[in-house]
Amino acid sequence: QEGGDQSGEEPGTGGMSQAGGMRPPWNQEVTPEERLPSATEPSRQWSMVRRVLTAGLLFSLLLGFSVLLVYIFRSCGPGPCMTPVCWDLLARYLASGNTSVAPCTDFFNFACGQAKGTDYSFQALAEENKRRLRRILEAPGSWHLGSGEEKAFQFYSSCMDTDAIEAAGAAPLRQVIEELGGWRISGNWTSLDFNRTLRLLMSQYGYFPFFRAYLRPRPTPPYTPVIQIDQPEFDVPLKQEQEQKIYAQIVREYLTYLNQLGTLLGGEPNKVQEHAFLSISITSQLFQFLRPLEQRRAQGKLFQMVTIDQLQEMAPAIDWLSCLQATFTPMPLSPSQLLLVHDLEYLKNMSQLVEEQLSLHRDFLQSHMILGLVRTLSPALDGKFQEAHRSLIQKLGELTERPPMPARPRWMKCVEETGTFFEPTLATLFVREAFSPSTQSAAMELFTAIKNALVSRLRRIPWMDEKTRKEAQNRVTQLQVKMGAPEWALKPSLARQEYNDIQLGPSYLQSFLSCVRSLRARIVQSFLQSFPYHRWQVSPWGVNAYYSIPDHVVVFPAGLLQPPFFHPGYPRAVNFGAAGSIMAHELLHIFYQLLLPGGCPACDTRALQGALLCLKHHYETIPLPNGTFFNGSRTFLENAVDIGGLAIALQAYSKRLLWHRGETILPNLDLSPQQLFFRSYAQVMCREPGTQEPQDPYSPPTLRVHGPLSNTPAFARHFHCPHGALMNPSSRCQLW
């Protein structure tokens, strides 16, 4: 029988045959009596009705229970965050992302495809913090009259008063040049002692024409303060290996600029051109004395400790003791004072060049120093000087094929200068405005979750031996964390200090120079005092976190823990994915040394090197937007902590999801909590792909997104990426 039962039994018989004494129903004879209604038939009908009613009741109960379950699951599941901060964040994500791109093939464009210019996340946040400072500085009646706060507000106001600056013109600058002895360009020049002029430039104007000198902690224990002598910074983008044609064009543009400066200061055109030409010649010769950092590192001469006496013998043109003493007063110096020198050969050659110029062209050397000072002071001068400098930067950028720098508004420059000179005051005002105690508490709770996840993860790292593992866990638990602002910024007595040594006016340039001297004196004084806590290397409104090796401290400024990276009202997925991954990244800097060759002798070297090679290959196989591939040999350490930072933040977030209810998501974004976590991680990295600096320690932004995410199985799982897609490769690396 086709399509029927092949057993030989008819359907509906229950498998009983005639041999069993029962006739099949189609052969049964029905008697007349049997055709009469039976007495039991009504009960049979009622039984059927009862069964129908029971089935209906059960169906109703099941339906009601299902509705109840849906309600319960919806109530316990992630609901949309409808607060204003979440709507603002949603707008940011929609503005930077490109949801038409498949996340499994190009998650960078999915998250950052429309980010242009200042949409670079860190840069945008830094500018937003400066806007907040601007609102504070421009709010009437925000300061205490007669206090240090008042001077900060007055300085900002004078910086913004461009009418007064334009009216003063070059007169305040000419007064400065007269104090330095004048110059032959204007026909009024007194041949003063070279070292006297250099001493004034360094101590009174903060300008170092031939080298840089500043205080810093010693690079090795006991980390006491030491004067460091470095190569100078040049305004001209010359390179050791540069095409002769480009080199000549750069020199011509810079010569034109120096001619403009001399002319604006009333110099005679012929004399200006002659002095400008010799100045650029001196700059070019000094540049030739420089040795690349890589070369000095390879020779083991990254820095050398010498006494002032020893340096005086090797570079005698400079009166080192008197120049340094004037610059770092009241720090007591002696000929036996140790200095940290970064390029001794440069200083020797520089000294020889200065001696030659002193014997042949003393007046030209004076002009060279003054032209350099004018260049550095141009931001505090009137519009003609600033425009000349902007034009130079633009033309040099075109010659070196660097992207043009966008013009910055005046208020931003004034905010930055006020912040530099009056940091204690602005730190307190910013923290009070942008980092409340509840925000700090939420940020510390997030950091604790990240730190605990790292401690837990260290137990499972395969290449660590037991001793190294325990030491690593101890290092993490003993770590200090500084969050928000330094201790002194939260003390009103320090924040409102009088700045008695600052004299504001009569011109903005004079106010600026008075602030330069005051700041230098405060820096020196702070190094001379015993400092019981870590010296912050960033301002509280800055956006750069860092780990300090000497103090074993990790620092997260208040300016970083702001939207779109962090807010107490955000979904946890956002805070863990953005700020949490940044925190984990900084924590992993503790273990940089272990990843270097020979950095962990007791570890399983083969397993460690295998993981690092895997990581290197992983990044080299991810294409860049232009179809090329990136050699990550210079960035492999940061790649390693990028991948580890994401893994640790994800582990901490997953644990938080497991033990805490009430998770939320962003409305109308159609992303689950886990997807929102990865989206928030990528948002931190949003940046135009072509903005990579040559010495950037980080990989290009596309790799900083695709590298860690494609190495994370959970990403492919939550975004349902097909096997073999860019974000779901066939193999992954296990380093952390």
| Superfamily per CATH, domain 85-114+435-486+533-718 | Collagenase (Catalytic Domain) (3.40.390.10)
| Mean pLDDT calculated for residue range 349-354 | 97
* Residue reference for tokens 């120093």: 369
Confidence of residue 633 (pLDDT cuts 50, 70, 90): confident
| Mean pLDDT calculated for residue range 273-287 | 92
pLDDT at 41 over 60: no
The pLDDT value recorded for residue 312 is 97
Q: At what angle do helices 636-659 and 701-710 cross, to 10 degrees?
A: 50
| Mean pLDDT calculated for residue range 640-645 | 96
pLDDT tens-digit series, residues 86-120: 999 999 999 999 989 999 999 999 999 886 654 56
Confidence of residue 216 (pLDDT cuts 50, 70, 90): confident
Supply 571's token pair: 């979904």
- Amino acid letter, 300: G
Phi and psi at residue 217, to the nearest 5°: -70, 145
| Mean pLDDT calculated for residue range 630-654 | 92
The three-state secondary structure class of 79 is: strand
Least confident of 297-301, 339-343, 366-370, 477-481: 297-301
pLDDT at 20 over 60: no
Q: 721 or 487, which is more confident?
A: 721
The pLDDT value recorded for residue 121 is 85
Confidence of residue 62 (pLDDT cuts 50, 70, 90): low
Q: Which residues pair with 213 in a beta bridge?
A: 229
Domain boundaries, the chain: 85-114+435-486+533-718, 193-380
Confidence of residue 222 (pLDDT cuts 50, 70, 90): confident
Per the residue annotation, which of 230, 423, 586, 663 is the catalytic one?
586
Catalytic residue flag (residue 319): no
Percentages helix, strand, coil for the chain (3-state, rounded to 5) are: 60, 5, 35
Helix count (H) and strand count (E) of the chain? Answer: 31, 11
Mean pLDDT of the chain, nearest integer: 85
Say which residues have a Cβ less than 8 Å from residue 537's Cβ, sequence separation at least 6.
546, 548, 555
| Superfamily per CATH, domain 193-380 | Neutral endopeptidase , domain2 (1.10.1380.10)
Least confident of 47-51, 513-517, 605-609: 47-51
* CA–CA gap between residue 587 and residue 165 (Å, rounded): 47
DSSP state of 38: P
- Amino acid letter, 419: G
193-380 has the same fold as 85-114+435-486+533-718: no
* Residue reference for tokens 């990581």: 615
Say which residues have a Cβ less than 8 Å from residue 51's Cβ, sequence separation at least 6.
none
pTM of the predicted model, to two decimals?
0.82
Highest mean pLDDT among 244-248, 267-271, 628-632, 651-655: 651-655
pLDDT at 557 over 50: yes
The pLDDT value recorded for residue 223 is 73
Supply 10's token pair: 């008819």
pLDDT tens-digit series, residues 678-735: 999 999 998 876 655 666 789 999 999 999 999 999 999 999 999 999 999 999 999 9
Per the residue annotation, which of 642, 670, 693, 696 is the catalytic one?
642
HSE-up of residue 315 (Cα within 13 Å, Cβ side): 23
pLDDT tens-digit series, residues 389-447: 999 988 888 887 776 677 889 999 999 999 999 998 899 889 999 999 999 999 999 99
pLDDT at 32 over 50: no
Pick from 391, 178, 371: nearest CA to 279: 371
Helices in 7-143 by DSSP H: which ranges? 32-35, 41-76, 84-96, 107-112, 121-138
* CA–CA gap between residue 435 and residue 217 (Å, rounded): 29
The pLDDT value recorded for residue 291 is 78
Catalytic residue flag (residue 138): no
Pick from 532, 424, 449, 444: nearest CA to 484: 444
Contact 424, 491 (CB under 8 A): no
Supply 326's token pair: 């004037």
Evaluated on CA atoms 53, 59, 62, 64, the torsion sign reads negative
The pLDDT value recorded for residue 10 is 38
Q: Quote the Cα angle for 613-616-621, to 5°.
A: 125
For 565-584, give one letter per residue: b (16+ CB within 10 A) or e.
bbbbbbbbbbbbbbbbbbbb
